[in-house]
Structure 1
Amino acid sequence: MDGTFMKGYYGGEVLTAVSQDGNDGFYVIAYAIVDVESRDTWSWFITQLLEDLGPGSKSGITFVSDQQKVM
């Protein structure tokens, strides 16, 4: 999962969720364009993702974060 800002007139953020297959290939499984990256937009995105993946998929999901603490 990652978020990145969009440059340009409209701005906003793109939130993405990726997955890795058995051949070590990565592919996007979901994305959303939001006004701002925040706890609320991430919560909404993850809720929608889990709904789309179905109830049985929750046990097989691993979240990896590269978030840095700002001093």
Structure 2
Amino acid sequence: DGKSGKIQVRLANKLDKYTIVVKDNGVGFPDDVDLGNTKTLGFQLVNDLVKQIDGSYEKQNDGGTIFKIVF
């Protein structure tokens, strides 16, 4: 549609917890997507890697997608 996309990646540390935030200005995820039970290789890898580091993740749609991993 001629729009230019933006992706932001941020890493923060607070009280011995790290947070990685990846944000874009795309169309976002459908609300009914269950990232814990997806069949795509990318999210299967994310699930496995987050479990390995005893982390958690969440997604939000807010003018695009915001994906946050805390470990």
TM-score range, shorter chain: under 0.3
Larger RCO (CA within 8 A; separation ≥ 6): 2
The TM-score, its normalising length taken from structure 2, stands at: 0.26
Higher strand share: 2
Higher helix share: 1
